[in-house]
Amino acid sequence: MYKNYESGFNNQLMSLELAVGLAYLTNRKLVYYGSGEKNQSLKPIPGVYSDYISAKRKNVVSNHRIPNIFDLMDELPIELVDYLQFKEALETKKMTIHHSEVKLVNSVFVPDKIYVNPNSLSEFADGRQIFQDVNAEVLHIHQCNLGYYSRCFYSLNSSLYEIMEAVNPQKNYRDLAAEISKNLNKFNGIHIRLTDFRSFLPQRYHSDPEKILKTLRAIIPTEELFVICTDEPENKEFFSKIISEYKNHIFLDDIIVNDFSSQFKTLPFTDEVTLGLICNLVMSHSQIFAGTPGSSFTGMIHRNWLRNKIKENINPLTLDFKYITSGFEETKVAFKDGSFLETKPGLFSWNRIELPLHTETKSWYREWVESVILPHTTTIKQQKFQVNLPVNLFPIWETGKRIQQKITNLNKTTAKEIDAYDKNNENKLLLCYAHNLIDNKATDQISKLLSEDIDWKYIIQTAQQHRILPLLYHKLKNHDPGAIPESIFKELQDYFYNNTHRTLFLTQELLRLLDIFQQNNIIAIPFKGQTLAVTAYGNLSLRMFGDLDILVQKQDMLKVQELLTTDGYVLQRKNNHLTQANHKRYLNSQYVYDEWYWKTLDHNSKFGARVEIHWITNPQHTIFPLNSEDLLQNIESVSLGGVDVPSLSPETLLVVLCLNYTKDHWTQLKMICDIATLIDSHKNMNWEKVIAQANRVRRQRTLFLGLYLAHNLLDAPIPLEIWQTIQANSEIPSLAKQISQRLFANCGCDPSLVEKTLFNFRLRETLQDKLLYIIFSVAKIVEQQTNI
């Protein structure tokens, strides 16, 4: 049950979007009502010129019939219940009602049953109130229901974006706007809000034509078609300087009234509000657009303009919302060439842009790029990726019997310590920052360590070798920004943003390849890399990765090789080129499990992508692998930049990572971070399923080794029953100690062949497996001498 926000059309549209989003995220029906005297009906939309129409427009625009918000909107993408029907239902059925005092303008909604990263949520909320659904049949939201959905919902994903994009004006209004835009062809545009904004702080600073011209000269060529949208088109004095410089200009109202009057008069409503709606839709097709800060009319143009640009396959990283001026005194904001500059680090654009506004005001003052683009992500298509897989879309907390979650809270004095924890202060500090969550205990330890003389260059170098630099920067920024020398912090910050930029390029390339494979009926599952970053860390930018790991079925390898090489990828191990004659023998070898392909994406910087195509997860002679057929039974979907892609379930991913990292001998702290963060971010992990999958490939000891490292080094929460089983296996602590002693002593270096062989031998749980390992290791020497 939702009270509308009675204001102009765009403010009402913002409010309606919030209502639709809440109904969708809480799985409720929407009862939308107003303050009309008759049955809480919706009032007509007020306009700036409700009582006045200029003589020039009188024959076209009429305010005799003014619509309410629903009169102009298409059918909503959620179920709507009429207020009268709802009242009748209340009289016949007793329902529990929660009358919330939440003001959406100053609130953040967090859906139930999603993983919440406290640091991320804190940055998103930016000091606003956080609220969730309630255990009542009716949730009544009736306070100040205003704000852009981009800042309200802490759950931005492709599904929610699709719902929001489906909240549209009716087709006849959209069609007329499209016809006008097509007639204009390519044009640049501005929206200048005057009228009530002249005395409305802080926007009064924008109403200076000279300041506006300064911005326009920097961003819009004077010779190109220039369309002006304003609420005072007759104000020749104000616009004289602008139009004298931009001679190829048109006022949008004049185009509609003079050239499209017949089409406009056929619309169901022909009032000033409807004229504004058509203008708004037209302006979103500008090549370059600059609007008025603080105007929701501009905010809606910005959002639709960004959607249109993405549909043109323009990289969102190159796009920005432009404004005619900053709207503030020059000394108060960082503003250049129409853009508010990002002066601070942060996950969300409102963290990175400093505006001298209360956090509540930021929710309606301007639209944010998060209305269209996921934080730190980009995409080449704004459409759902159709996955031809048995994708399980149900969240893991709804499936499977759970082992009772008696999470260990063991005192470190009762558990055998790992030697890395007793190394120097720098290594201890790295381990503290590698924790997913920094609790009070970790905070105290960090404070104590920071009081010592810290070698920050060593920390940066070691974090780089262990591939956790983005995580280190993120933790330092959020917890101890003043602890690190400014020059070192700037170096870390630059690295973080460069890594994020590279991550976005690789993500774009991954989505493109998945699309190619899908078009050729090839089932392809990305694992590790981007999907692990989203599944475990909740943020693409927090995990370093260099390769695109993709799992395919063995029978598709020949076709995959053909598609990649046709696309410009080069096989890195040239002797391994697959043919009809050799592919079966090669793919069934005990010693190979993937193929590497390289393609240069940017010839100037030599930046490129290495694609690792797997048909099993590991070489069979070292570890019993999971093949693609096994993994197809355990697929879910995750969203990358608004595109749903297949991913391994958290339970399967945990087993695969332990197998994979054991193959690599746990040489990097990032590997242990991945395990700990994946566990910590999935509180409802189905541990029975995890254990069963490890047992099926006879690799329980391998799984337990990963869990032991994650718990002892990074305090990953392990169910008590499992922890007790791990401790009962005498090999696990011994193997873990061997790993941890090497972790910082030889970081980045592989163990010797002898160490690897003994390590793999000890991982075998039965005499039969130990003998098979010896046989396969000897046979490998023979097979490597044949050119398969």
For 268-311, write each residue's pLDDT tens digit. Answer: 999 999 999 999 999 999 999 999 999 999 999 999 999 999 88
Q: Which helix (H) or strand (E) holds 549?
A: strand 547-552
Q: Per the domain annotation, does 255 fall within a domain?
A: yes
Model pLDDT for residues 30-39, shown as the tens digit of each residue? 999 998 877 7
Looking up tokens 């939201």 gives 141
Q: Per the domain annotation, does 565 fall within a domain?
A: yes
Model pLDDT for residues 585-636, shown as the tens digit of each residue? 555 554 444 566 777 665 454 567 888 888 765 445 444 555 556 677 778 8
Average pLDDT in the chain? 81
The residues with which 611 forms a beta bridge, in sequence order, are 548, 597
User: Whole-angstrom Cα distance, residue 378 to residue 290?
Assistant: 23
Beta strand 524-526 with 547-552 is antiparallel
CA neighbor of 642 nearest in space, from 149, 111, 162? 162
Greater model confidence, 639 or 156: 639
Judged against a pLDDT cut of 50, whether residue 528 lies above it is answered with yes
Displacement of CA 366 from its chain's centroid (Å): 20
Identify the pLDDT of residue 121: 86
Instruction: Please indicate, yes or no, whether residues 269 and 353 belong to a single structural domain of this protein.
Output: yes
Q: Per the domain annotation, does 547 fall within a domain?
A: yes
Confidence of residue 731 (pLDDT cuts 50, 70, 90): confident
- Which of 86-100, 318-332, 426-440, 682-696 has the lowest average pLDDT? 426-440
Among the three residues 131, 155, 179, which one is the final residue of a domain in this structure?
A: 155
Q: DSSP assignment, residue 466?
A: T
Judged against a pLDDT cut of 60, whether residue 411 lies above it is answered with no
Is the preceding omega at residue 751 within 30 degrees of 0, hence cis?
A: no
The average pLDDT across 56-71 equals: 91
In the chain, pLDDT over 90 holds for what percent of residues? 41
Confidence of residue 765 (pLDDT cuts 50, 70, 90): confident
- With beta carbons less than 8 A apart as the criterion, state whether 350 and 479 touch: no
Identify the pLDDT of residue 778: 56
Instruction: Please indicate, yes or no, whether residues 176 and 139 belong to a single structural domain of this protein.
Output: no
- With beta carbons less than 8 A apart as the criterion, state whether 110 and 155 touch: yes
Identify the pLDDT of residue 390: 25
Instruction: Please indicate, yes or no, whether residues 142 and 185 belong to a single structural domain of this protein.
Output: no
CATH number of the domain encompassing residue 652: 3.30.460.40
The average pLDDT across 749-769 equals: 69
Identify the pLDDT of residue 586: 53
Q: DSSP assignment, residue 246?
A: -
Identify the pLDDT of residue 637: 83
Question: What are the tokens at 345?
Answer: 């680090």
Q: Per the domain annotation, does 420 fall within a domain?
A: no
Q: Per the domain annotation, does 127 fall within a domain?
A: yes
User: Whole-angstrom Cα distance, residue 699 to residue 693?
Assistant: 9
What length does the chain have? 788
Q: Print the domain residue range for 320.
A: 171-371
Q: Per the domain annotation, does 415 fall within a domain?
A: no
Judged against a pLDDT cut of 80, whether residue 103 lies above it is answered with yes
Q: Per the domain annotation, does 423 fall within a domain?
A: no
Strand order in the sheet with 249-251: 249-251, 226-230, 188-192, 289-291, 322-323
Strand order in the sheet with 138-141: 32-33, 2-3, 138-141, 97-100
What is the value of pTM for the model shown?
Answer: 0.54
Judged against a pLDDT cut of 90, whether residue 60 lies above it is answered with yes
In terms of Cβ atoms closer than 10 Å to its own Cβ (0-12, 13-18, 19+), residue 226 is: buried
Instruction: Please indicate, yes or no, whether residues 581 and 665 belong to a single structural domain of this protein.
Output: yes
Instruction: Please indicate, yes or no, whether residues 251 and 293 belong to a single structural domain of this protein.
Output: yes
User: Whole-angstrom Cα distance, residue 314 to residue 319?
Assistant: 8
CA neighbor of 519 nearest in space, from 566, 554, 583? 566
Greater model confidence, 3 or 90: 3
User: Distance of CA 298 to CAs 162, 216, 279, 293, 446, Å?
Assistant: 22, 16, 11, 7, 46
Judged against a pLDDT cut of 70, whether residue 386 lies above it is answered with no
- With beta carbons less than 8 A apart as the criterion, state whether 533 and 526 touch: no
Looking up tokens 């961003």 gives 219
DSSP string, 278-342: HHHHHHTT-SSEEE-TT-HHHHHHHHHHHHHHHHTT--GGG---EESS-SS-GGGS-EETTEEPB
3 state SS of 606: coil
Confidence of residue 235 (pLDDT cuts 50, 70, 90): confident
- With beta carbons less than 8 A apart as the criterion, state whether 149 and 21 touch: yes
User: Whole-angstrom Cα distance, residue 57 to residue 471?
Assistant: 59
3 state SS of 701: helix
Instruction: Please indicate, yes or no, whether residues 24 and 86 belong to a single structural domain of this protein.
Output: yes
- With beta carbons less than 8 A apart as the criterion, state whether 282 and 81 touch: no
Judged against a pLDDT cut of 60, whether residue 142 lies above it is answered with yes
Q: Could you give the angle at which helices 700-714 and 687-696 cross, rounded to 10 degrees?
A: 140
User: Whole-angstrom Cα distance, residue 343 to residue 109?
Assistant: 27
Helices (H) and strands (E) in the chain, counts: 32, 20
Identify the pLDDT of residue 287: 97
Identify the pLDDT of residue 577: 64
User: Whole-angstrom Cα distance, residue 608 to residue 601?
Assistant: 5
Q: Which of 374-388, 481-495, 687-701 has the highest mean pLDDT?
A: 687-701
- With beta carbons less than 8 A apart as the criterion, state whether 255 and 226 touch: no
Instruction: Please indicate, yes or no, whether residues 276 and 357 belong to a single structural domain of this protein.
Output: yes
Question: What are the tokens at 11?
Answer: 């403010």
Model pLDDT for residues 489-501, shown as the tens digit of each residue? 888 888 888 888 7
Judged against a pLDDT cut of 90, whether residue 382 lies above it is answered with no
Q: How many CB atoms lie within 10 A of CB 301?
A: 29
Q: Per the domain annotation, does 687 fall within a domain?
A: yes
CA neighbor of 578 nearest in space, from 567, 590, 568, 565? 565
The total number of structural domains that make up the chain = 3
The average pLDDT across 737-741 equals: 85
Judged against a pLDDT cut of 60, whether residue 49 lies above it is answered with no
User: Whole-angstrom Cα distance, residue 428 to residue 417?
Assistant: 13
Identify the pLDDT of residue 12: 96
- With beta carbons less than 8 A apart as the criterion, state whether 382 and 369 touch: no
Confidence of residue 413 (pLDDT cuts 50, 70, 90): very low
530 Cβ contact partners less than 8 Å away, ≥ 6 residues apart: 503, 506, 507, 510, 540, 545, 640
Judged against a pLDDT cut of 80, whether residue 203 lies above it is answered with no
In terms of Cβ atoms closer than 10 Å to its own Cβ (0-12, 13-18, 19+), residue 524 is: buried
Helix/strand/coil percent split, the chain, to 5: 50, 10, 40
Helices (H), 220-271: 236-245, 252-259, 261-265
Beta strand 188-192 with 226-230 is parallel
Instruction: Please indicate, yes or no, whether residues 254 and 205 belong to a single structural domain of this protein.
Output: yes
What does the H/E/C string look like for 73-91? ECCCCCCECCHHHHHHHHH
Helices (H), 145-271: 149-152, 158-165, 171-184, 209-219, 236-245, 252-259, 261-265
Instruction: Please indicate, yes or no, whether residues 363 and 498 belong to a single structural domain of this protein.
Output: no
CATH number of the domain encompassing residue 178: 3.40.50
- With beta carbons less than 8 A apart as the criterion, state whether 455 and 426 touch: yes
Identify the pLDDT of residue 197: 57
CA neighbor of 627 nearest in space, from 571, 697, 685? 697
User: Whole-angstrom Cα distance, residue 323 to residue 339?
Assistant: 6
Greater model confidence, 588 or 191: 191
- With beta carbons less than 8 A apart as the criterion, state whether 278 and 270 touch: no
Among the three residues 155, 190, 207, which one is the final residue of a domain in this structure?
A: 155
Identify the pLDDT of residue 367: 97
3 state SS of 237: helix
Q: How many CB atoms lie within 10 A of CB 213?
A: 16
Q: Which of 73-87, 188-202, 312-326, 473-487 has the highest mean pLDDT?
A: 73-87
Identify the pLDDT of residue 640: 80
Instruction: Please indicate, yes or no, whether residues 125 and 196 belong to a single structural domain of this protein.
Output: no
Question: What are the tokens at 549?
Answer: 């790991």
Instruction: Please indicate, yes or no, whether residues 179 and 312 belong to a single structural domain of this protein.
Output: yes
User: Whole-angstrom Cα distance, residue 739 to residue 705?
Assistant: 10
Confidence of residue 553 (pLDDT cuts 50, 70, 90): confident
User: Whole-angstrom Cα distance, residue 116 to residue 538?
Assistant: 8
Identify the pLDDT of residue 718: 92
Judged against a pLDDT cut of 60, whether residue 741 lies above it is answered with yes
User: Whole-angstrom Cα distance, residue 573 to residue 377?
Assistant: 32
Half-sphere exposure of 35 (CA within 13 A, CB side): 8
Identify the pLDDT of residue 166: 94
Question: What are the tokens at 538?
Answer: 């909740």
User: Whole-angstrom Cα distance, residue 165 to residue 180?
Assistant: 21
Identify the pLDDT of residue 206: 53
User: Whole-angstrom Cα distance, residue 497 to residue 654?
Assistant: 28
Instruction: Please indicate, yes or no, whether residues 264 and 123 belong to a single structural domain of this protein.
Output: no
Question: What are the tokens at 352?
Answer: 């990175």
- With beta carbons less than 8 A apart as the criterion, state whether 288 and 218 touch: no
- Long-range CB pairs of 84-87 (<8 Å, 24+ gap) are 84/39, 86/1, 86/31, 87/39
Q: How many CB atoms lie within 10 A of CB 424?
A: 12
Confidence of residue 583 (pLDDT cuts 50, 70, 90): low
In terms of Cβ atoms closer than 10 Å to its own Cβ (0-12, 13-18, 19+), residue 583 is: middle
Q: What is the dihedral of CA 90, 91, 95, 97, to 10 degrees?
A: 60
Beta strand 570-571 with 2-3 is unpaired
- With beta carbons less than 8 A apart as the criterion, state whether 296 and 18 touch: no
Identify the pLDDT of residue 787: 43
User: Whole-angstrom Cα distance, residue 232 to residue 264?
Assistant: 20
In the chain, pLDDT over 70 holds for what percent of residues? 79
The average pLDDT across 452-471 equals: 88
